[in-house]
Structure formats: structure tokens, C-alpha cells
Amino acid sequence: MKRPHTVPKKAAHKVHKRQKVEDFPKPLPPKAKRRVQLNELGWKTVSMPDRLEDTEGFYGLEEIEDVVIVKDATTGNLTFETTKTEEEVAQDVEQAWQREEDEAQRLEKITFGEEQAEEEDKEAVAKAPKESEDVAWEGFSDDGEAQEEATGQSADAEAAALEAAVAIKEPKTPKESKKEKKKRKEAESKKKEKKDVDGGAPTPDGSKDDEELSGIDDHSDGETFGPGAFDILANQPDDDGDEADVSAWNKLDLSEEILGSLAKLKFSKPTDIQESTIPEIMAGRDVIGKASTGSGKTLAFGIPIVESFLAARSAAKNPEDKTPLALIIAPTRELAHQITAHLTALCAKGEFDAPYVTSITGGLSVQKQRRQLEKADIVVGTPGRLWEVISTGQGLLGKFKQIKFLVIDEADRLLSDGHYQELGEILKILERDDEADGNAETDDAPAVERQTLVFSATFGKALQQKLAGTSRGGSDLMSQQQSMEYLLKKLKFREEKPVFIDANPNSQMANKLQEGLIECAGTEKDLYLYSLLMFYTKKRALIFTNSISAVRRLTPFLQNLSLPALPLHSNMPQKARLRSIERFKERPGSILVATDVAARGLDIPKVELVIHYHLPRAADTYVHRSGRTARAEASGTSILICGPEEVGGVRRLVAKVHARSGEGSKPKNKKTAYFIRTLDIDRRIVSRLRPRAAISKQLADTVIAKEKKNTNDDVMRQAAEDLGIDYDSEEFEKEAKGKRGRGTGRKKKEKEASEMSKGEMQALRAELKGLLSQKINTGVSARYLTSGGIDVDALMAGEGNLEFLGAVDGLGFDDDV
Ligand SMILES: Nc1ncnc2c1ncn2[C@@H]1O[C@H](COP(=O)(O)OP(=O)(O)OP(=O)(O)O)[C@@H](O)[C@H]1O
């Protein structure tokens, strides 16, 4: 039996025609049939052609043998029966787990680039240093501006109002005391001694040891995805063996182990949010932390958790009684894996026994995750899978009730309507009084003093309201206060007043982000997207859409135009999601076309351009999407493509996002007129790109229509087989004809597209190839792609993209904002 779209087929008995009946051995008595649940069986994955996986039109196929579908004649309900014994089924399941583990390990090897390497030269590759695309990270500026913002907040009337709800703590830069200085000096000299003893000495071939090279300890279990997918910290430029001077961290009273890790990572100083939250968390306070995107919030809560792990090491328990120390909840799988990788990498750089950090997310085996939980110190997960695993596992409830840290990352998202349900269940069980429940399993569990830590770049409720919504009334202050009250209500903080730390009170957007918009007819967004990407060739770009179908359509549209586009959306199989991110990260100049599943938290180095193909549905989404670029010290650009009717909404949105900077729509600096600048694309160039864009769109639509038709046919055929009737697609279509309704025009187009012949498609591809080989030359006279952004010298010299005469930089933005 295959799922999702095949019916069970009994193995055909091949009987030799001339064989006599009496030659057969006596038939075995029929095996007893047992009713089974499909999700309890050991399904085998059916390999699919790459083409299908890449278009992401399928979820993948799995098959199972010896299972028949039984239909109840009266109710029509379907049940499933097998002749296998319980042991046989258990064996199948065990084998399925094994296959899954093997597959995960294989994937991980691909991630590390090891599979091919193994064939070529195992040893040489194992020793070779991994290439890092990153430039040295210089650390955050500690200049007066940030200080001013911070101190400005304390005097702010808003702060007084908020204080009613939470204890506000201003970010501060404490001066190093004599004691601290002494401690720092001691630590530094100890570190030096240690280095002198064991090291930093290169291995004979000049490379570093394996652990340091790999960056992330993957625990060899295949489910904590390794550096390839999320080598957040492994990207940091520490390959030269040098360590940074980390004396700027001393005021935070961190352990030598963590200081050692930070030195190796070359994180020479804490970011504002780290500096202000770490001491509070280490002092046992509940903390709500707000800071702009890419400002290091993960380590702001991660470092104190690891410190707590290190402090508790001596009180090691029997592994059987092991309980996780921290539970970190994030809204998406990718973010959960990234946080896991981030913390694992922090510890891998240190010289201590690292805590076991594991991800509990959908898309991977539940059983295996349960096993991993048994040894986990830090658990990072998405609410749905966490709830499933905790609530159905044995003894896990009691263990989780003893966690010492509960972290809600991207809290405004997780606590918003529509996402809260499963998180709410988790919170409920964590708070539940067992004695009242009579829950014997956890009666012995001691009451634990748990710290609750809540982080995000956006907290204002107004930011969550839809653009078209009613957010005009009420100031941002009110909404922020409301959202704090909301948080206090939903989360059971241990303290009456958790500390609220806003590291960037005057701005939600990253410092070095430049914002622009391009106006075009709604029907021409594809063309303008292509034009923009042609202009920005070689920039790593992230394109956001509001729907999965748009991702499915735009990816082949861009690929047909020879642009390296990759898809990312929540309906893709998990391994394909990870693969897309990995490729996006590896290949300079690649393009990720994504839904908002990529909007929050993802920390992919060197994303230089974010394009909003669809307008974000809410202002907070705009902040988070745009925050995928201009992270840490880097600069980046965010461009909205909008139809004429959308421009007003966009301006409102941007005004709202920048409202707290206190400048309204005043100029950001002398050169840039407003926070967001309208980009004046040269329409002549766009019109020269139109023919190729049109053909590419036609091809992409055709492929999708054909796939859709095939999938529909399969589904109909299965339904027909289940019902015991014949399915004839043409007959079915004839019957459907005449039933006219909404979407008939679209369906007609789809049908036409799905019927395009191979020859016609080949002809279109050839035509497109011809067009792509031509230069788009407008002559070097008037205006170019955008006013003021063209490097005319480069243009004259024929530099930049060969297919498209134009500079690749500029776009009328200033380099330093
Ligand atoms: N002290 C530091 N010095 C230098 N780099 C740092 C420091 N702390 C964190 N980073 C790096 O900064 C980047 C952004 O960190 P992180 O992902 O934690 O940001 P964030 O604030 O959680 O962003 P978002 O709001 O988008 O989730 C990461 O690549 C991380 O390795």
C-alpha cells in the first residue's frame, strides 16, 4: 500500500502454467487479520525523482505491505487490517526508524559535503579546513548613539506608564570595577597558560582538529542538523586559530568556560541586549527582552542557560532521573533548529562537557525525539510537536515540570491568536498542580522555581494588526503596554513584575537597513521582480510572498530565467526545507523564494537584499522579514514591490514601524528623503525584459498545471478505486462541463496550459534561451534602471551582468546610513 495516492496491491502469484495442482505444497491456514492504525506502522519511503521533490508539489510517497483497506458497508468508514503479528509490526517500525536515522545521517553528510568527499579522499577532506564565506565580524559599535537611545528611554513618559506592568530595566554599560578588572586579568592569564600548554598548535598538516572544524557537535544522531544547515556560529571567522580579547564581557561575571568559547568565536563584546539581560537572568529574574532583529537575542538567553548548566554540573544525577534544564519554544522548525545549532556551537567552542541540546519539531520521527528527550539538557521546539511529544510520552510531563528556564522566543508571534493553542496547552501543563490532578506520575516531583524569559524584536500590539485594520487609534505606547499586560496574563511569571528590557526603544529596524519601494501594475509584479533581481545579480536575496502557491510559481519562473532560485514553504518535506536553506547559504548570489515561514529569526549570513513580492500582512511581519538582512553589523536593503493601490498602505506601514524613532516621516539623513524611498525604475529596460519574462511565466504555469492535473488524476483514481468504480478522466471532465462557477476562467487557462505538448514546450524553451543570450542594451544615454543608482563607468566598461547591461550596485541608496 502506498500513501498518499495508491491502493494496496496484493503480490501477484506467479504460477507456472504446466504445474499440476498436486505439486503445490499444502496451503497454509489463512493468517488472522488484525485491525491497525496507519500511523503505527513501519512505512517505507518510496524514492521520488528529483524533479518532483524540487518542485515541491508532492509531500513524498510512502508504502506499506500486507495492509488492506476495509470499508464498512453501512457507515462507509475505512479501517485497515494486516495479517502481520504484533512482533512483525514492531520489527517493521524499528526498521523504519533505522531507515529514517540512516537517511538523516546521509542528509547530514550531504550537508557537510562529506558524501562525495568520502568517495574521493576521506582523509584529506576530513583534515581540510572548511571554507567560510564570512568576513570578520567586528562586533557591535558601542558608540554614543546606542547609549543615548538607552538613557533617553528612562526619562520617557512611556516608561513610567509601562512600569505599572513590568519593572523596566534600562540597558546599561557598567564600568569595570577593580574586582572585575582583577578577575579579568586572572582569567586572561589562565587562558594564556592553557593556550600555551595545549595549544592552538596546528595539526601536522596545518589544519585544526575535527571538532573545531565541524563547529557543531551533532551528537551523531542525525536530527540536530549540523553546520551545513545552521552553522550560525561556525560561520564566525575563527579559523585562524586566534582568540579575541573578551575583556569587555568580564562585567557580566561569566565563567571561564563561556569566556573561552566567546574568545574563540571572536565575539569581543556583548551586544546591548546581551549586556543588559544576561546579568538579570543570571540573578534569577524573569525577563522580557526586546531588541532589533539580528542583535544577538539568542545568546542573551542562551549564555545564562549554559552558565546554569555549568554551575549544576557537580550535582550530576543518575542519568535515569535526568530532567531537562531549559525549554525554549520557537514558532518555526527552522528557527528551532537554528537555536539548537547556535547553542550547540557556543558549547562546542568551549573546553567543557557540553549540555545536550536537542530540537523537537515536526517533520522528524516522534519516537526518536522521545528517546532524545531522555538525555536532553536543553530542549528547543515548536509548540505543535512539543505538545504531541510531551503529552503522549511516558513520564515526560513530570520531567518538564522541573525545567528551570522557560524561554518563549518570538513571543509576540507565539502568543498571537491562531498560534497560541498548543503553546497554551504546554503552559497549562507546566503550571498544573499535580496534587490537585491526582497525577501519580509526578507526585514526587519537587516544586521548581522556574524563570520565564520572553524575547522578540516586536512587542507592540499595533504592529500585529493588519494593515487594513483599525490600528490608527491609540499610540504605540498604549499598544506596547497592552501587549505587556497580555504577556503577563498569558505567561505565568514567577515574579509579579518581570524585568522589561528594551535595548532599542527608538527603533525596531536594524541600524544599517535601507528601505525602498517599487511601484508597478499588480499584473507586472513578476516582471518587476525579475528586473530587480537582474539589477541585483550576485546579491544573496530573500523574496517573501504571502502564499505557498506563489512560492511554487515564482521559483520555476526565476529558474527558467537562469536565476538560482530555491523554494521554502511549510508544505515542503522537512529535508527539502533544510536543503533549500543550506543551498541558499552555500551559494553566493542565490535567491530564496519563501513564505513567512522564513520571516522570523533565521540568521543566514550575507543576505543583502529582501524583496517583499507581496505586501506583508502586518507591520511586525515587515520588521521581521526585513530583519533577515542588515543583521549584526552588516548593511542590507529591503524593497517592497507594490501595486498603485497598495502604496498608501505601505507608507502607513512604514510610518508605523518608524513611529517610535520620534522622527515621524522626517528625513533619515540629508541624502535620503524619507525612511522609505520610491525607486524609479527605467521602464524602457523593463519593457525589454518583458518578452523573456512572459515566456518564462508561461513555462512555469504549464509545468504547474501539468503537475496539478496529474495529482488530481491520481487522487480521483484512488477515490474511484476505493469506491470500486472505474475512473476515466475524460468522462469525468465531460460531466463536470456545464457546471460553471467561480474560477472557471482560471481553470480553463490551467487546462490549456496542462495540455501544452512537449514539442510546444521545447519550442518555448528554445525561444527563451535565445532571448536570454541577448544583451539588454539601452544605450548609455538617458536614465538607467533607477535614477541616480547607475555606475556609468562600469556600464560603459560592460561590467556587471553580461545579460543585462547595468551596474549591480547602487539602486540610489546611500552606502552609509
Ligand atoms: N556578542 C556578539 N558579537 C558578535 N556577533 C554576535 C554576538 N552575539 C550574537 N552574534 C551573532 O549575531 C547574529 C544574530 O544573532 P541572533 O540570531 O541571536 O539575533 P536575534 O536578535 O535573535 O535576531 P532575530 O530578531 O532576527 O531573531 C548571529 O549570527 C550571532 O552569531
Average the pLDDT over 492-512 and give the result.
82
374 Cβ partners below 8 Å, 6+ apart?
322
* Cβ of 326 less than 6 Å from ligand 1: no
Closest protein CA for atom 22 of ligand 1:
297
641-686 tens-digit pLDDT: 999 999 888 888 887 787 654 444 444 444 334 578 888 777 778 8
Percent of the chain with pLDDT over 70: 54
Residue 656 counted as domain residue: yes
- Quote the ipTM score: 0.99
The answer to whether residues 609 and 567 belong to one domain is yes
Average the pLDDT over 473-484 and give the result.
49
The answer to whether residues 395 and 544 belong to one domain is no
Q: Separation of 536 CA from ligand 1 center, angstroms?
A: 26
Q: Which of 132, 236, 259, 267 has the most ligand 1 atoms within 8 A of CB, as the residue to mutate?
A: 267
Q: What is the H or E stretch that residue 651 is in? A: helix 647-658
Can you give the pLDDT at residue 744?
58
Can you give the pLDDT at residue 15?
36
Neighbours of 19 (CB within 10 A): 9
Distance from C-alpha of 450 to C-alpha of 447, rounded to nearest angstrom: 9
Residue 427 counted as domain residue: yes
**Alpha-carbon dihedral sign for residues 99, 103, 108, 114:** positive
Distance from C-alpha of 761 to C-alpha of 773, rounded to nearest angstrom: 18
Q: How far, in Å, are 35, 274, 527 from residue 184 at the CA level?
A: 67, 18, 58
C-alpha grid cell, residue 489: 496574563
Taking the CA of residue 342 as reference, the ligand 1 atom at the shortest distance is 31
- The backbone torsions φ and ψ at residue 434, rounded to the nearest 5 degrees and listed phi first, read -65, -35
The answer to whether residues 486 and 525 belong to one domain is no
Q: Residue 627: what residue type? A: G
Closest CA to 565 of 3, 30, 55: 55
Residue where the block lists cell 546521509: 106
Query: Residues 325, 309: contact at Cβ < 8 Å?
Result: yes
Can you give the pLDDT at residue 620?
85
Can you give the pLDDT at residue 49?
42
Q: Residue 1: what residue type? A: M
User: Helices 383-392 and 366-375 sit at what angle, rounded to 10 degrees?
Assistant: 80
User: Helices 366-375 and 86-112 sit at what angle, rounded to 10 degrees?
Assistant: 70
Q: Separation of 297 CA from ligand 1 center, angstroms?
A: 6
C-alpha grid cell, residue 797: 566598461
Q: Separation of 458 CA from ligand 1 center, angstroms?
A: 16
Half-sphere exposure of 498 (CA within 13 A, CB side): 24
> Beta strand pairing status for 591-594 and 565-568?
parallel
* Counted domains in the chain: 3
Residue 266 counted as domain residue: yes
* Cβ of 332 less than 6 Å from ligand 1: no
Can you give the pLDDT at residue 56?
34
SS (H, E, C) 336-354: HHHHHHHHHHHHHCCCCCC
Q: In what order do the strands lie in the sheet containing 513-519?
A: 565-568, 591-594, 541-544, 609-612, 636-642, 513-519, 676-678
Band (261; pLDDT cuts 50, 70, 90)? very high
The answer to whether residues 463 and 544 belong to one domain is no
Can you give the pLDDT at residue 800?
45
Can you give the pLDDT at residue 446?
46
Residue 657 counted as domain residue: yes
Most confident residue range from 124-128, 335-339, 705-709: 335-339
Asked whether the predicted pLDDT for residue 423 surpasses 70, the reply is yes
Can you give the pLDDT at residue 81?
78
C-alpha grid cell, residue 27: 496451503
96 Cβ partners below 8 Å, 6+ apart?
42, 43, 44
Asked whether the predicted pLDDT for residue 505 surpasses 70, the reply is yes
The answer to whether residues 493 and 584 belong to one domain is no
Closest CA to 284 of 409, 451, 488: 451
Distance from C-alpha of 486 to C-alpha of 482, rounded to nearest angstrom: 6
Residue 562 counted as domain residue: yes
Q: Which of 271, 410, 412 has the most ligand 1 atoms within 8 A of CB, as the residue to mutate?
A: 271
458 Cβ partners below 8 Å, 6+ apart?
290, 412, 464, 508, 620, 623, 624
Asked whether the predicted pLDDT for residue 470 surpasses 70, the reply is no
Distance from C-alpha of 279 to C-alpha of 296, rounded to nearest angstrom: 15
- Give the residue, 342 or 658, on which the prediction is more confident: 342
- Give the residue, 412 or 808, on which the prediction is more confident: 412
Closest protein CA for atom 25 of ligand 1:
293
Asked whether the predicted pLDDT for residue 252 surpasses 90, the reply is yes
* Cβ of 226 less than 6 Å from ligand 1: no
DSSP 3-state of 571: coil
DSSP 3-state of 378: strand
Q: Separation of 299 CA from ligand 1 center, angstroms?
A: 7
Query: Residues 368, 393: contact at Cβ < 8 Å?
Result: no
Average the pLDDT over 399-423 and give the result.
85
Query: Residues 334, 577: contact at Cβ < 8 Å?
Result: yes
Asked whether the predicted pLDDT for residue 54 surpasses 60, the reply is no
Band (365; pLDDT cuts 50, 70, 90)? confident
| 658, 681, 704 - which closes a domain | 681
Q: Separation of 405 CA from ligand 1 center, angstroms?
A: 20
Closest protein CA for atom 14 of ligand 1:
294
Q: Residue 236: what residue type? A: Q
- Give the residue, 558 or 187, on which the prediction is more confident: 558
Closest protein CA for atom 10 of ligand 1:
296
Asked whether the predicted pLDDT for residue 53 surpasses 50, the reply is no
Q: How far, in Å, are 582, 603, 636, 808 from residue 540 at the CA level?
A: 13, 13, 10, 12
Residue where the block lists cell 528623503: 673
Distance from C-alpha of 96 to C-alpha of 574, rounded to nearest angstrom: 17
- How many whole angstroms from its chain centre is CA 650? 25
* Cβ of 300 less than 6 Å from ligand 1: no
| 663, 681, 699 - which closes a domain | 681
Average the pLDDT over 94-106 and give the result.
58
Can you give the pLDDT at residue 45?
62
Average pLDDT, the chain: 69
Residue 530 counted as domain residue: yes
Can you give the pLDDT at residue 103?
56
Q: Separation of 233 CA from ligand 1 center, angstroms?
A: 9
Q: Residue 345: what residue type? A: A
User: Percent helix, strand and coil across the chain, each rounded to 5?
Assistant: 45, 10, 40
Residue 604 counted as domain residue: yes
DSSP 3-state of 809: coil
Can you give the pLDDT at residue 135?
24
Q: Which of 132, 251, 299, 502 has the most ligand 1 atoms within 8 A of CB, as the residue to mutate?
A: 299
Predicted TM-score of the model (pTM): 0.65
CATH number at residue 365: 3.40.50.300
Burial of 207 (0-12, 13-18, 19+ CB in 10 A): middle
- The backbone torsions φ and ψ at residue 307, rounded to the nearest 5 degrees and listed phi first, read -60, -45
Q: What is the H or E stretch that residue 406 is in? A: strand 405-409
* Cβ of 252 less than 6 Å from ligand 1: no
Q: Residue 454: what residue type? A: V
Asked whether the predicted pLDDT for residue 97 surpasses 90, the reply is no
The answer to whether residues 489 and 531 belong to one domain is no
Closest protein CA for atom 15 of ligand 1:
296
Distance from C-alpha of 680 to C-alpha of 318, rounded to nearest angstrom: 67
414 Cβ partners below 8 Å, 6+ apart?
329, 330, 331, 383, 408, 420, 423
Query: Residues 213, 207: contact at Cβ < 8 Å?
Result: yes
The answer to whether residues 294 and 321 belong to one domain is yes
Asked whether the predicted pLDDT for residue 816 surpasses 50, the reply is no
Can you give the pLDDT at residue 254?
96
Whether residue 4 has a cis bond before it, omega within 30° of 0: yes
Asked whether the predicted pLDDT for residue 79 surpasses 60, the reply is yes
Can you give the pLDDT at residue 721?
66
Most confident residue range from 116-125, 209-218, 371-380, 748-757: 371-380
Can you give the pLDDT at residue 161?
38
C-alpha grid cell, residue 716: 480521483
DSSP conformational letter for 276? H
Q: Residue 807: what residue type? A: A
Q: Distance between terminal CA atoms of the chain?
A: 60
| 628, 649, 681 - which closes a domain | 681
Range of the domain at 553: 513-681
The answer to whether residues 337 and 410 belong to one domain is yes
Asked whether the predicted pLDDT for residue 696 surpasses 90, the reply is yes
Closest CA to 560 of 784, 769, 762: 769
Can you give the pLDDT at residue 47?
54
- DSSP per-residue codes, 490-553: HS--SSSS-EEEES-TT-SS-TTEEEEEEE--GGGHHHHHHHHHHHTTTS-EEEE-S-HHHHHH
Phi/psi-derived region of residue 82, left when phi > 0, alpha when psi is between -120 and 50, beta in every other case: beta
Asked whether the predicted pLDDT for residue 18 surpasses 90, the reply is no
SS (H, E, C) 69-116: EEECCCCCCEEEEECCCHHHHHHHHHHHHHHHHHHHHHHHHHHHCHHH
Band (443; pLDDT cuts 50, 70, 90)? very low
The answer to whether residues 257 and 381 belong to one domain is yes
The answer to whether residues 258 and 333 belong to one domain is yes
The answer to whether residues 294 and 423 belong to one domain is yes
Closest protein CA for atom 27 of ligand 1:
601
* Cβ of 298 less than 6 Å from ligand 1: yes
Residue 278 counted as domain residue: yes
Out of 424-428, 611-615, 663-667, 679-683, least confident range? 663-667
C-alpha grid cell, residue 194: 592553557
- Give the residue, 270 or 120, on which the prediction is more confident: 270
Query: Residues 461, 656: contact at Cβ < 8 Å?
Result: no
DSSP 3-state of 483: helix
The answer to whether residues 550 and 497 belong to one domain is no
Asked whether the predicted pLDDT for residue 536 surpasses 90, the reply is no
Closest CA to 357 of 211, 214, 224: 224
Asked whether the predicted pLDDT for residue 307 surpasses 70, the reply is yes
Asked whether the predicted pLDDT for residue 691 surpasses 80, the reply is yes
Q: What is the H or E stretch that residue 167 is in? A: strand 167-169
